[in-house]
Amino acid sequence: MSGHSKWHSIKHKKAAVDQKRARIFTRMIKEITISARLGGGNPESNTRLRHAIDEARAANMPGDNIKKAIMRGTGELEGVSYEEHVYEGYGPGGVALIVEATTDNKNRTVSEIRHAFDKYQGRLGEKGCVSWMFSRKGLILVPKSAVAEEKLMEIIIEAGAEDLRTEDDSFEVVTGPEDFDAVLNAVKAQGIQPEYARISMIPSNYITLSGEDARRMMTLLEKLEDLDDTQNVWTNCDFETEE
């Protein structure tokens, strides 16, 4: 998703996903399958696969489903061949959007994404048109009730984190992608359970929307999230909160 809008955007994303639990397993299976295809079926040597398996287990996915997804990825079982595609564009108010999709039919996927952008006052752009505004970072959100700020700072700096910020009722730990595992493991080793921990696309700045633009953007985000091929949606949008 500073003190501004990262968590606001992430909370929206998380809420949208949580409302569609039936889709979660399908998306996780796609991620496990393509991770195994690209990096091999051993989670000890394939960090992306390990993260995908951890998320699947946290969502209570049956172990047999995980195993079969890995085997489809490595070619031990027949299955659909997925490809990853990234789409970039603009939403209402000129906010930036990145849509990460995993699909077996690129034409279908781009058609559905373009339709969503067009219908809700967005515009699908060319590759690279907004990605320069984002950096891939590890993001770990820790409830303030779980640990004192000074203690958390000590833990994460020693493990290699880049920054610690405050977001409402959470601490936001930012890491380089290569240090994400070490920092996350250090936090968990202290008995602290993060409320969110993923490699994320973090924007360099945010645009705050209100009124009709905010409503349209919220709807566009929901429609993009609801597409079967969508894996992640990242934005530099913040929504003006009512006091």
Q: Are 149 and 140 in contact (CB under 8 A)?
A: no
pLDDT at 2: 33
Of 25, 49, 74, which residue sits at a domain end? 74
**The pLDDT of residue 138:** 94
Question: Whole domain around residue 58: which residue ranges?
Answer: 6-74
Specify the CATH number for the domain of residue 41: 1.10.10.200
Chunked in runs of 10, what are the mean pLDDT values of the chain (243 residues)? 42 49 82 93 92 89 93 88 94 96 95 96 95 95 94 95 89 94 95 91 92 93 92 90 52
Do residue 120 and residue 210 come from a single domain?
Answer: yes
Number of domains in the chain: 3
Single out the residue of 93, 99, 94, 77 nearest to residue 32, CA to CA: 77
User: What are the counts of helices (DSSP H) followed by strands (DSSP E) for the chain?
Assistant: 8, 10
What is the per-residue pLDDT for 21? Answer: 59
What pLDDT, on the 0 to 100 scale, is given for residue 12? 46
Domain boundary residue among 74, 96, 121? 74
Provide the whole-model pTM: 0.81
Do 66 and 107 fall within a single domain? Answer: no
Check residue 168 and give its pLDDT.
80
CATH (domain of 228):
3.30.70.980
Domain shared by 24 and 69, yes or no: yes
Q: Give a yes or no: residue 1 inside a domain.
A: no
- Say if CB 121 and CB 216 are below 8 A apart: yes
Residues 42 and 162 in one domain: no
CA distance linking residue 221 with residue 205, whole number of Å: 18
User: According to the model, what pLDDT value does residue 17 have?
Assistant: 47
Do residue 124 and residue 218 come from a single domain? yes
Whether 227 is in a domain gets the answer yes
What is the structure's pLDDT at 167?
Answer: 80
